[in-house]
Structures are given as structure tokens and as C-alpha cells.
Amino acid sequence: MRLFISTLGKLRSRLATWLTLGLLILLMALIYLAVGATAKQTLERPGGQSVLLLLTFPGAYALILGFVLGLGGLFVMAYAAAIAGSEWTWGTLKTAVARGESRSRYMLTTFFGIAALALVGLLFAFLVGVIVTFLAATLAGVSTDGIGDTSIFGNLPEQFLRGWFGLVEVGAVGFTIATLARSQLAGVGAGIGIYFAGSFAGIFLPDIVKYLPFAAANSLIQVNGSASAGGGAPTARLDPNTALIVVLVWLVGSLVVTALFTERAEISG
Amino acid sequence: MPSGVVYGFLGPNGAGKTTTMRLLTGLIHPDGGTIELLGRPFGRRDRRRLFEVGALVESPAFYPYLSGRANLRALAASGAPTPKHRVEEVLELVGLKERGGDKVSQYSLGMKQRLGIAGALLSDPKLLLLDEPANGLDPAGIVAMRDTLRHLASTGKTVFISSHLLSEVSQLADVIGIIAAGKLVREGPIETLLSGEGRVRVRVAAAEVDRAVSALAPLGVAARVDGSDDGRPAGPATETGWLEVPIEPSRAAEVNRILAGAGIYASGLESGSDLESLFLELTAAAPPARTEGQIQAVPGNWQ
């Protein structure tokens, strides 16, 4: 437990933590406010009405969650890769191992710290998303009466947990890549590469891509029948329960690979 | 290694010093053979043995965005359980208490080195393994480190330092091990190893060098003109008049007396034991290492 608490303290003090969350919130705020500010012109175009669904409560709740999970997935993957890679490049894993710390316990605890922060970040980003959507809806002249519709809240905690599970899974994949590469940059680069390659390949190989980390994570939650932003817009989606199993396999598989590699690695530098 | 000593681990670049340190701290594992640490076999499953070992292997490693104090606290959360007050104690010990709140990214190399030593001391270890501990330290820092390590050895702890600074090791170590190409080629108490490595240097007038060499013949050893290979007066050494006599430093007065008896008066006299000569002699002839990670002790050298 002391290692976990220490890990949380280290992550909290790290600029990358706040930068990742800040960037996600900034992008979300810019997009939603832009939609709100240009709503009148958008409505004049064919199909423009559907854009306003983004700003209409209670349906907006799920869309905010989908947005946070989609873009957040990419951010969490890059963030987890940066944290794992820095343990190798800065030599801090070496120092802990030389003190008799268990290699796999150290790395897995670091990952669990990231997972805990991802939950806090998800909640915070969602709350900010609700506020921004409310402002954007007001700007667009869309009714916000549905914001108090409690029927949506019954389903929201489950969607939240599923979404968090998806974030943790893509984070684990990024964490593992950086561990195997022993590098922050390689991990972040590979994570971003997987994200965009998955989006692109989804057009041609939807039945394969839907099993890949981002697509499976996105399939965990139902967003009014459409895909969330993560991994682009895969043309095929797993049903949420199958996605749960696929995500679990990716998550456990990634962590096992991380643990085994770290245990067997020769540490230098 | 006996306990309660400072052990100097010497070797040229690539000899296997750092590889040995990595093996002893479980960072890498041997392809073959066995390791004993603190008197017991040390393998992959014996990481808890390192709770009694403090180590600084290669360069000190810290989170650059955290303060020195926060780094030590983070380190204390891993491995051996460490009391909270210990962080302040070791900061004080290495002279970083005042700067403990500064970020490590603002530290000089010497300060990082001191923080690394503080990290190694966190768990109050029985055995301290330090790789090039004087790296980046200023003269005052080196003296302070030397005092600290000597003090630790006097309290029964064993201090193992690897270094390429021969003068530093000769001032600090009680026991020396010299490694070359993956083999331990000499090991023992420093006085014993250097007993045949003493020398006295004496300076006479350049014109009297030949006569001085003849006068010193009764010592039983050949006095050499300092700087020449064959003992014959040659080059600038002849002009400076320095002679080197390979005898115990304690016999410097005898050299002076013989010269004075022959009517030759020394204008300079130095004496000392030459660790450098021993080091070069032992490491120059060593064959190249076969593969990294193969350390072979040569039996029979320990006294």
C-alpha cells in the first residue's frame, strides 16, 4: 500500500498528468463551444439538426461520456506509455530493484496508480463536459430542460465503469508497449500509431479491427447506436458484453506481458 | 569480503566492475556460476536480501520533477521498510538538508551523486555498494564522503566502492580487489598488496646522476633515472636529475644517507607506494573478456 500511495503522489506531482487532463478538457470545451456558437448556421444546412443532439440533454450525457472515452483513450494510452517508459529511461526502476523491490510489483503498482488517476480524470472531465455542454446549449438556444432527467442516471454508473474499464485497457496496452521498448517516446509513438492505424484499418478490415484495443474499448458503452470518438469510427462494433471479454483479455494479457518482461529484463543505465 | 572494511574494487574500463555491481544488486542475472551475498547464496528469488544492501549503481537515478526529499520518500516506499525520519537523517548526512526541497533537475552532478549516496543509505544497510561514488564531487565533497564511508566502516558496515580513481581508493580502502577482463586478478589488504610496490624518488644535480646510481647500488636494487626505461640517463629526466629507487618508502632516509656519504646532496626526496604501477602491471597483461557477465575469481590471492 505504501508503494501505491507513493505512486499516486509521484503521478500527482508530474506535469504530464495535468497536461493530459488539461488538453482533453480544452479540446472538449473548444469543440462543444464551437458547436454551440455555430449552431444557427449549422441548422440551415441539410442534416444540421442532428448536430444539436450533442447539446440536447439527457442524450448529451452519453455523448459526453463517449467523447471523453474516445479522445481520453488516446490520451491515457500516451500517458501510460510515458510513465512506463520513464521508469526505464530515468533509471528509477533500477534504483527500486536495487533496493530489493519486486520488479513486477513495482511496475504493476505504477499501472494501478495510472488506472486510479484515469478514474478521477474521467469523472472530472465528464463534469466539465456537462458544464460546457450546458453553456454551449444555452449559446445555441437549445433547451436544457432534460438536464434533470433522472432516467438516464440509472444507466450512467454502469456506463461509467465500462468506460473506465476501456480506458484502463488502452492504458495497459500503451504501458506494455513502452515497457517492451523501455522508452517513453517509443511507447507514446506506438500508442498514437495504433490509434490512427486502427481508425484507418477499420474502413477495410472492420471484422478484425473491432477486436483491437481501441475499437473493443469503444464498444463497451452504448452511445445512441453510434460509435464514440475513440479509434475513429469503426464500421463494425462488438456487442457490449462481448467487448467486455475482449477488453479483459487485452488488459490481462498486457499486464502479464509487462510483468513477465520486467521480471526477466536485464536492467542497466 | 570481511565485514567492517572499505573494499576498493578497481579495474580498467570494460573489466566488469559495473557488471559485478549489477549482478550483486539483482539488476542482471548470471549465465552460470553462483553469487553469494552477505554470506548466503543470492539468486532471482532472494531479492529481500537486498533490504540489507544499499547501492548506487552507475549514475544516480531520480525523478527530475520531484525534489530531493520527495525522491528519497518515493524510494523509501519501495524495498526495505524505512522509518520516515530516516529521509531527513540521510539528507543531513550528505549535506543536502538545506537543498532537499529543490527539484532534482536543478541539482548539479555532485549534488545528484550525494543524493544517490543518501538513497543507498536509506535502509541503514549492512553492505554499501557504490559505483564511482566520487563522480562529480568537489574536493570538499570527496573529503566529506571519505569521512562518511570510513565512519560507516568503523560501525561494522562493509563499504564496497568501485572506482578508477586510484589515489582515492588508496586513501580510502582497507582491502583492494583488482579486476581485469572479467577476472579478479589480485585481492587483499592494501598494505600487503603494495608491500612490494614502494618507491623512493630522489633528486640530485644532473651532472651527478651516474655517480648517484653507482652509490645506491649497495641497496640491492637498481636505481633508475626517473622517466627512462632502461635505467640509463636519457632525455629530460637527466636534466632534472630525478632518480627512482624501488624500495620501501620507510627507507627514504637510508637513500639520503648513502648519497650524502658519497658527497651527493639531494635537493628533493619523495616516497610512496605505487598502486598505479601495480594496477597497470596486473591489468595490462589480462586477456580480453570473453563475454560480459563472466566474472571469475582467481583463487589463492586473498590473504
Contact across the interface for B77 and A90, Cβ inside 8 Å = no
Strand order in the sheet with B242-245: B224-225, B242-245, B198-203, B268-273
Task: For residues B142 and B217, state if they share a domain.
Answer: no
Cβ distance A266 to B27 less than 8 Å, yes or no, reads: yes
Could you give the C-alpha distances from B257 to A51, B48, B238, B248, B281, in angstroms and in order?
Answer: 106, 61, 22, 15, 31
Q: If contacts are CB pairs under 8 Å, which of residues 117-156 in chain B contact chain A?
A: 119, 122-123
Residues B31 and B126 grouped into a single domain = yes
Give the per-residue pLDDT at A185.
87
- Which runs of consecutive H residues, i.e. helices, occur in B63-188? 68-76, 85-93, 109-121, 139-154, 166-172
In a domain, A150, yes or no: no
The answer to whether residue B25 neighbours chain A at the CB level (below 8 Å) is yes
Neighboring chain B residues of A98 at a CB cutoff of 8 Å: 25-27, 50, 53, 55, 57
Contact at CB, B80 and A13, closer than 8 angstroms: no
- Locate A223 and state its grid cell: 452511445
- Residue A96 forms part of a structural domain: yes
pLDDT at A235: 54
Domain ranges, residue A13: 2-40+52-140+162-264
Say if residues B282 and B178 touch (Cβ distance below 8 Å): yes
Q: Quick one: B14 and B108 in the same domain?
A: yes
Q: What is the ipTM of this complex?
A: 0.86
pLDDT per residue as tens, chain B (303 positions): 888 899 999 988 888 888 999 999 999 999 889 999 988 999 888 999 999 999 998 888 999 999 999 999 999 999 888 998 999 999 998 888 989 999 999 998 888 988 999 999 999 999 999 998 888 788 888 888 888 888 888 888 899 999 878 888 888 889 999 888 888 888 888 878 777 667 788 898 888 888 888 888 888 777 777 654 444 444 444 567 888 888 887 888 988 999 999 999 988 888 776 777 777 777 876 554 444 444 443 333 333
> Would A120 be classed as within a structural domain?
yes
> What is the model's pLDDT at position B302?
33
> According to the model, what pLDDT value does residue B289 have?
47
Q: Is residue A98 part of a domain?
A: yes
A153 found inside a domain: no
Q: Residue A222: what pLDDT?
A: 67
For residue A15, the model assigns a pLDDT of 94
Chain B residue with minimal CA distance to A107?
A: B78
Whether A269 has a pLDDT exceeding 80, the answer reads no
Query: Comparing A107-116, A121-130, A212-221, B186-195, which segment has the lowest mean pLDDT?
Result: B186-195
Q: Which triple of cell numbers denotes residue A105?
A: 510489483
Q: Which residues of A touch B25 (CB under 8 A)?
A: 97-98
Q: Report the alpha-carbon distance of residue B16 to residue B18 in Å, rounded.
A: 6
**Alpha-carbon gap, residue A132 to A31, rounded angstroms:** 10
Asked whether residue A126 is domain-assigned, the answer is yes
Amino acid type, A65: L
**Quick one: CA dihedral A111, A117, A122, A125, positive or negative?**
negative
What share of chain A in percent tops pLDDT 90?
Answer: 52
Q: Amino acid identity, residue A40?
A: K
Compute φ and ψ for A251, nearest 5 degrees. -65, -55
Contact map slice: A 188-227 vs B, CB within 8 A: none
Domain count, chain A: 1
Same domain assignment for residues B82 and B222: no
Confidence of residue A61 (pLDDT cuts 50, 70, 90): confident
Lowest mean pLDDT among A162-166, A214-218, A226-230, B5-9: A226-230
Domain that holds residue B69: 6-193+280-297
* B162 part of a folded domain: yes
